[in-house]
Structure 1
Amino acid sequence: MRLETPLLTTSRSRGALAHLAVLPAVGVALLVAVLVTSVAFATPSDADTTWSVVPANAEGPDGRSVIDLELAGGQQVVEHVAVINRSTQPVDFAIDANDGYLTSKGYFDMRPSDAKPTDGGSWVAVPEKVTIAAGATSVVPVTVSIPQNATPGDHPAGVTASLETISGQVRVQNRVGVRLNIRVTGDYVAKVAVTDVQAQYTGSWNPFAAGSVEVTYTVANVGNVRLVTDNRVLTSTFVGENTWSDPSAANARELMPGGSRTFVARVPGAWPLGPIGTTVTAIPSPAGKPIPGVTAQRMAIDTTVWALPWPQLALLVLLILAPFAIRLVAAWRRKRIEKLIMLHSKGTPQEA
């Protein structure tokens, strides 16, 4: 499991507040959980230990970045992960399996080690701990047993090797993990729903500049397999159309079954000419490899936002009133000049 961007989540761990951060570490994810307690602990000698965890076969690392499994209900398989101790001392690592999920930014994370798994993580059995010599690698068996009545579709999970270090009254749990994409065979459903579409127009006081439409919408995975959506927004007025396509990376648009994510799009080039039709389209496709025989339908939702051309109307009024204003000013100046001439002629003495 490779997570490219740091991520922060919170959880409860052993009655204390835990902060989980996902950090990149040699092709894996380093989950740092800071447990703040009121009890003082001794600082362990292995506080600077470094290690990594990668998918493996029975002999050692096999070059995979994640473990993809497609199993039928009642089926069991033994996978492996390699825990590599990169430090200069032997270390006892705690091994844990739990449910996986996607954060609000689309990064894969795992539930904290003290949370009881309820989905794919509960089907994974691993040793409680493993002792690894300095600079050595240990291959850890990972047994995945699918219940007979498991529902078809994706059930994300993960396996971590963790180590706790102590600094004063702060206990730090470092977790390095591998992602497991567990898929139970059966009737796959690839479907999304687009909801909560809201559009707001932001205009410019420059009558010669177009405004923009900000669209907020939520895409939910209502199927049973992981999906990546290609999101597009179309705005249309009497003078033309403008389109927007989500430029974010695919992982930021991945959705687990039952998951949802809210997106914000800003579509420029919209002129305020009354109603602006707005269409949000989500085009889903299975995450990872294509699923034979499974086609996800695109979903589209329409809404309308009104934009009145106040700057343009003000300019039009100004252009209409300008000739009258010029005439009034010209008439006022002409009368003033005539009055001055008259006053001047009255004040000048006439010759005999």
Structure 2
Amino acid sequence: MTLTDQQMTLLLDLRHDLHENPQVSEHESGTKERLMHFLSQHTSVKIVDKGAYFYAVKDEGEKETLAFRADMDSIVNSHFVAHHGCGHDGHSTILCALAMLLDKEKLGRNIVYLFQHAEENGVGAKQCCEMLKEAKVDRIYGLHNWPHLTKNTAHFKAGTLMCASSGLKLHFEGQQSHASEPEKGKNPIYAIGRLVELWRPLSVFHGYSPVEFAGEKFDDMILATIISTAVGEDNFGVSPGEGDLNLTVRAARSKDLNHLIEVMLKQAQTIAKEEGLKLEHSLTDTFPDTSNSISEVKRLGKIFSSAGLAYDLLDEPIRSSEDFGWYTKEIEGAFFFLGDGDYAELHSDDFDFPDDEIPYGLALFAAIARAKD
């Protein structure tokens, strides 16, 4: 079965509607309503509303259940306005297309269509993991379009596909003093400066291989990027007493990410104590590594080959993060890229999901859903 021209027109209209009405992470109520309404109008799936997100079920009363996931939140552009600059409007449209395509087919398995909120800040997938047991999902699959990878081709690899990362926020509290008597205060700028220089080696990418830092061993790539610093204001009579240092910490593997954060916090605490400062920290936008098992990579290769669909095995992970990894820490599944070819960068103001990729994304998902394995 294939979709009719009329159905494809409906899907393109949906994609454009989503693109024109973007909503950022944890504020996707309107997007969710649009998607639920579309499915209720054009398929016979059972919709399960979970508040922040929803899923839809094609229940054939079979033992095996596969899930397919799409994210639905947007980013903000350089003008701080909501913008679908990561392609999630396209991902959601592909999943709606899959529901339409398979609606009347007998597959011999149940299918769950998961429409996830809050991917961009790493919150959504961890919350959605509850539905894996609720819907008795055996395996889960997801995709993401990616620029500069061969178009009309699926791209994936065994092991880490996308890296783990977390925002690390450090707040230093010292003692404010008059600018003419800085020795009477505790200005955190010196502790921040020492840490920035201490962590400078972490800003250099050395590839994917074991590495050492601060006398500690890590199994694979680690990185840390300074995002912002803040100390005082434009008040030239005051030596400030508070300051902040914010970083994104990254690693090819979640265990290395956690280890690196521990090492950095110990270093920060030591320097804060030496400078007579109090230190508070918090983590935000935390993502696991998104990895594929060897068995799932073999499964995808076999399925795509049998369906005549092009695929490519990547040599290295992509350094950015994706919260799909929370699912595959619970059950089997796989994640892959849908190549955009020579196209606008993700998260740029110019990005608009290419409509001509919807049929190929649909074909990849449909091949998995229909596979007899």
- Give the TM-score category using the shorter length: under 0.3
Q: TM-score, normalised by structure 1?
A: 0.21
Q: Which structure shows the higher strand fraction?
A: 1
Larger radius of gyration between Structure 1 and Structure 2 = 1
Which structure dedicates a bigger proportion of its chain to helix?
2
